[in-house]
Amino acid sequence: MRILVVEDDAEVARGLRRDLNAAGFAVDLADNALDAGHLGSEEPYDLIVLDLGLPDGSGLELLRRWRDADNPVPVLVLTARDAWHERVEGFRAGADDYVGKPFHPEELIARVTALVRRAQGVPGGVLRRGELTLDEERQRLHLADDSVVELTGTEFRLMRYFMLHAGQILSKTRLAEHIYDYDHDPDSNVVEVYINRLRHKLGSRYIRTRRGQGYLFDGAGRGDDER
């Protein structure tokens, strides 16, 4: 899952990136409306955390522009302006959630996770797919036989992306775009390496390869690699 954080205060942005990274999200930062507008339109973000007071323009304007351009990315507005008439305006501009400053990092992470899930049409609560259950807090996986598999940061991101997009064919590029931030220039071979590691940890039957297309995750673990 990859998130764009639009925040002009360097300290807040740094803290947000640190906390979101720790929660298993790839994070890009933008500290002005111009960069944010560009990144938000060009990069395939799973969520945008948007501060409304930006040095070169209003975050609400930015949000409206994205929505006018039919950009459906979930947007969580993060603002000091949290009076009800401002919230009403924010939601009307197309916000999906609204968090007032100052906030507790845990609360923000919870809201971000819920919003990402909702955007994928996955119900809240424990993320479970077939035989697999992902413990998002401790970043580990429970298998069908109740054994627990510890995941590294990248493995966790990859696993979560698979589980949130179960039954969809995911290309290597798409996977790379969603588990790495902008500054990591992902090599699709690296993705392949991590997928192999996951297969090694879980068994190969959950993640199947569709030659020339990408990968397909099935929590029930039916089927084999080649069709």
Partner 1 sequence: MTGAPRLRARLSWFLALSLAAVLALAGMALTFALAQVTETFVVTRMEHDRDTLIASLSAPDTLEQALPRVYRQPYSGHYFQVERNDGEVIRSRSLWDTRLALPSLEAGEQWRSEQAGPQGQPLLVLASGVRAGDAVTIVGVAEDMTELRTTLARVYIALAVLGILTLGALLWLQRRILQGLFAPLMRLQVDTERLIHGELEKLSTQGVPEEVVPLVEAIDRLLGVLSHRLSRSRRALGDLAHSLKTPLTALGTLEGEPELRDSPSLVGRHRAQLERIQRLVDAQLRRARLAGGSAPGRGMALARGVDDLLDTLGRIYRDKQIVVERDVPTDIRVAGDREDVLELLGIVLDNAFKWATSRVAITVGTGETVRIRIEDDGPGVSPAQAGLLTRRGLRLDESAPGSGLGLAIVSDIVEQYEGRLDIVPKGRLGGLAVTVSLPAHSRTILDEDQSSSSSSRRSPRSSK
Residues that bind partner 1 (CB under 8 A): 9, 11-12, 14-16, 18-19, 22, 53, 79-81, 83-85, 87-88, 91-92, 96-98, 100-105, 114, 118, 124
Which residue in 156, 75, 60, 88 sits closest to 115, CA to CA? 75
Minimal distance in Å, beta carbon 221 to partner 1? 29
d(CA 12, CA 79): 12
CA-CA distances (angstroms) from residue 54 to 45, 51, 80, 104, 161?
A: 20, 7, 12, 21, 31
> Measured from the CB atom, is 96 or 218 closer to partner 1?
96
Chain-centroid distance of CA 103 in Å reads 20
Minimal distance in Å, beta carbon 125 to partner 1? 10
> Measured from the CB atom, is 115 or 216 closer to partner 1?
115
> Measured from the CB atom, is 48 or 207 closer to partner 1?
48
> Measured from the CB atom, is 55 or 167 closer to partner 1?
55
Minimal distance in Å, beta carbon 93 to partner 1? 11
d(CA 198, CA 120): 22
Minimal distance in Å, beta carbon 31 to partner 1? 12
- Confirm if 138 and 184 have CB atoms less than 8 A apart: no
Minimal distance in Å, beta carbon 204 to partner 1? 35
Minimal distance in Å, beta carbon 217 to partner 1? 24
> Measured from the CB atom, is 22 or 69 closer to partner 1?
22
Quote the tokens at residue 117. Answer: 């899930």
- Confirm if 99 and 91 have CB atoms less than 8 A apart: no
Contacts (Cβ under 8 Å, ≥6 apart) of 55? 8, 31, 32, 33
> Measured from the CB atom, is 88 or 193 closer to partner 1?
88
